[in-house]
Amino acid sequence: MITIIAAVAENLAIGYQNALLYRLPDDMKHFRTLTTGHTIIMGRRTFESFPKGALPQRRNIVLSRSKETFEGCEVFPSLEDALKHCTSDEEVFIIGGSSVYREAMPLTDRLLLTEIHDTPAAADTFFPPYADWKETAREHHPCDERHSVSFDFVSYERTH
């Protein structure tokens, strides 16, 4: 199964200057819980945004056309090539960035999105439109002392 996972603002913004837009501890915990023990596929710039490199307890795959290597990661030149090296029973999470999300959308079985109830002041990276996907679950999280904005964990499945 291929799943896209992302945190998306109301205007579909997902990042600014190669960083996440919001610090949401519950979203980070949710991401870690869902992806631990599975395969994550990301673009090079997404990988470079991680402060400590490869994410532990996951198979890290980085997409890069250069001959670079990244410690703790497998590197493939394309999403298609990376997916050929995944087994049919492997749970694969596409974790960014925007060009990888766009390329993966037609291949994806479900979206696991954190929909953030805010529009950021600045953003330079956006998630592709997903209005044609069917919502299957939603869990609301209000603002609190650790979260400056409210958000929902939302699951979507392909409509066709």
- For the segment 8-53, what is each residue's pLDDT rounded down to a tens digit? 999 999 999 999 999 999 999 999 999 999 999 999 999 999 999 9
Identify whether the C-beta of residue 133 lies closer than 8 Å to the C-beta of residue 79: no
Return d(Cα 150, Cα 64) in angstroms, integer: 35
- Give the model's pLDDT for residue 63: 97
Of 28, 61, 55, 24, the residue nearest 42 (C-alpha) = 61
Return d(Cα 136, Cα 115) in angstroms, integer: 14
For residues 62-73, give the mean pLDDT.
Answer: 92
What are 118-146's pLDDT values in tens digits?
A: 999 999 999 999 999 999 999 999 999 99
Work out whether strand 92-94 and strand 110-116 pair parallel, antiparallel, or are unpaired.
Answer: unpaired
Question: Is 80 exceeded by the pLDDT of residue 115?
Answer: yes
The edge-to-edge listing of strands for the beta sheet with 92-94 is 73-76, 59-63, 39-43, 92-94, 2-8, 110-116, 151-157, 134-141
Instruction: List beta partners, residue 94.
Output: 4, 41
- Give the model's pLDDT for residue 49: 92
**In the chain, pLDDT over 70 holds for what percent of residues?**
99
- Give the model's pLDDT for residue 32: 97
This prediction's pTM: 0.95
- Give the model's pLDDT for residue 67: 82
